[in-house]
């Protein structure tokens, strides 16, 4: 696999997760938090791809499969669910 693509996946995944975590930590409201989870989803997808396409990085790939599921729940809960999150 092309090293440039692998580097782009790795660094996008790390940067997107960092920005998403910052947004969630700021507690800026339900809709913005939901979009932060969308950003987490894209981060997980990038890191899954990087993890399985890079040599000796499968652990990150497997971890991000689990995180992808968690992040999808976050998207559903904050952007689609009609129930208000508990404090």
User: Using CB atoms within 10 A of its CB, is residue 58 exposed (0-12), middle (13-18) or buried (19+)?
Assistant: exposed
Cα 82 to Cα 17, 31, 37, 57, 59: the distances in Å are: 26, 12, 17, 38, 35
- pLDDT tens digits for 37-79? 999 999 999 999 999 999 999 999 999 999 999 999 999 999 9
Whole-model pTM?
A: 0.92
User: Using CB atoms within 10 A of its CB, is residue 4 exposed (0-12), middle (13-18) or buried (19+)?
Assistant: exposed
Q: Residue 33, Cβ neighbours under 10 Å: how many?
A: 21
More confident residue, 4 or 85: 4
* Average pLDDT over the chain, rounded to an integer: 95
Q: Return the structure tokens found at 22.
A: 């910052």
């Amino acid at each position: 696999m092309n090293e440039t693509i692998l580097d782009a996946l790795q660094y996008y995944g790390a940067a997107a997760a960092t920005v998403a975590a910052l947004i969630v930590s700021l507690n800026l409201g339900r809709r913005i938090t939901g979009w932060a989870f969308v950003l987490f989803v894209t981060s997980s997808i990038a890191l899954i791809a990087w993890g399985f396409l890079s040599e000796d990085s499968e652990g990150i790939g497997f971890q991000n499969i689990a995180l992808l599921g968690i992040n999808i729940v976050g998207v559903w809960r904050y952007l689609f669910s009609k129930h208000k999150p508990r404090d």
